[in-house]
Each structure stands twice: as C-alpha cells, then as structure tokens.
C-alpha cells in the first residue's frame, strides 16, 4: 500500500519509515510535488493534523496521513503544546525552543510533561485519528545528540536517559509518534 505522509520534515519521515518497517510505501510531500508550506492554523494538535491531511487530499487527491506533535508541560498549563515548533519564534529553532522552556521552568519543582502526537488518516473518503502519548519530565539541561526537537531535554518515564540519549531502536518503540503510528498500522492491517 502507498500512502502520502503529509510532511517535509526529513527527521519525522525517517522516524516514521523506521517505525513502519517497510509495511507501507511512504511518499513524502516532495514525492507528490507539494512544495508549499501547509498552514498549521488550528489551535489544537488534533486540528493541525486534520488540516494537513485534508490539504493533501483536497489539493492533490491522495489518501494520506498527517501528524502533529506537541510537548505539553504541566507546570506551564500545557505549553508549549500546539506552538511547540515555534515556541521561541517563527524561526522554529530547536535550541531556542529548549532554552526558552528551560528558562521558564528554572524555578519549578514539577517538571512533568508529555509529548502528544495525533495522526489524521484520510483513506477511502473516511478520516480516522490516532493519538500517542509519551509521559516523562523535562531535565535541567540538554543531554544527547540523537533525535530532534525537544528530545535532549525530555526524559521518558522509566528511563534515566533523554530521548536524545536513547538508541533510535528504543525510542521508536516507546515514543508518542511510535504509539500513534502503531495504532495507524493496526488499523490498516485490520482492513486487509
């Protein structure tokens, strides 16, 4: 089966391909000739996933799925949430975002947080949503060079390492994106 993954984020595409393990042939936005930036104007993570999936289906006619992910920090009432990628500004710089978050939490004892990924699948005229959560806490400083985004400051529950310190084989079984993608795969397999 071929499915478009509505993303131009090379890190996300690589991570999803690794999780899918060849079960689905993944096409990127680049593969279908979509080079524009898809607007992410919803005020929820679910809403942005739906916007992106609908954009590809309506403009290009493909069955596709799109995801949106946010880091929700309890002490900050769920921020940065839907604004995670541009938390420190429109330049979408991961180091700037992490620095701003660490600064916001510098006097906080409660550092609990969760990553949330929502995948919106448009297939055969129907839409389905899949949600994955990874609970953990924000560390005091950056650690590790694997992964992307907030991975160097997020330590998942039951682990002493950050996502950026874990081997990708481990992260890709416990992450928010992995959990949402597993639900997507289970749904697609059940349709066969």
Residues 6+ apart with CB under 8 A from 148: 11, 94
Helix, strand, or coil here: 182? helix
- What is d(CA 94, CA 107) in angstroms, rounded to the nearest whole number? 22
68 is catalytic: yes
Note whether 187 and 130 are within 8 A (CB): yes
Terminal CA-to-CA distance of the chain, rounded, Å?
10
Note whether 63 and 124 are within 8 A (CB): yes
Residue among 31, 63, 67, 68 flagged as catalytic: 68
Name the β-bridge partners of 114.
72, 135
Residues in the chain: 192
Question: What would the two tokens of residue 160 be?
Answer: 């002493």
- What is d(CA 52, CA 47) in angstroms, rounded to the nearest whole number? 9
Note whether 190 and 128 are within 8 A (CB): no
The residues carrying an active-site annotation are: 68
């Amino acid at each position: 089966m071929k499915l478009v993954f509505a993303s131009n984020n090379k890190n996300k595409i690589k991570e999803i391909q690794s999780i899918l393990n060849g079960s689905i042939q993944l096409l990127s936005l680049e593969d279908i000739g979509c080079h524009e930036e898809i607007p992410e104007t919803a005020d929820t993570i679910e809403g942005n996933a739906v916007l992106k999936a609908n954009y590809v289906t309506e403009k290009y006619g493909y069955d596709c799925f799109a995801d949106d992910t946010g880091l929700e920090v309890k002490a900050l009432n769920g921020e940065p949430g839907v604004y995670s990628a541009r938390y420190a500004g429109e330049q979408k710089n991961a180091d700037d975002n992490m620095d701003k978050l660490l600064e916001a939490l510098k006097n906080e004892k409660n550092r609990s947080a969760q990553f949330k990924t929502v995948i919106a699948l448009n297939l055969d005229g129907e839409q389905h949503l899949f949600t994955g959560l990874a609970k953990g806490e924000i560390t005091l400083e950056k650690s590790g060079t694997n992964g992307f985004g907030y991975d160097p400051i997020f330590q998942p529950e039951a682990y002493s390492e950050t996502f950026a310190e874990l081997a990708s084989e481990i992260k890709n079984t416990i992450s928010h994106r992995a959990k949402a993608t597993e639900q997507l795969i289970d749904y697609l397999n059940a349709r066969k």
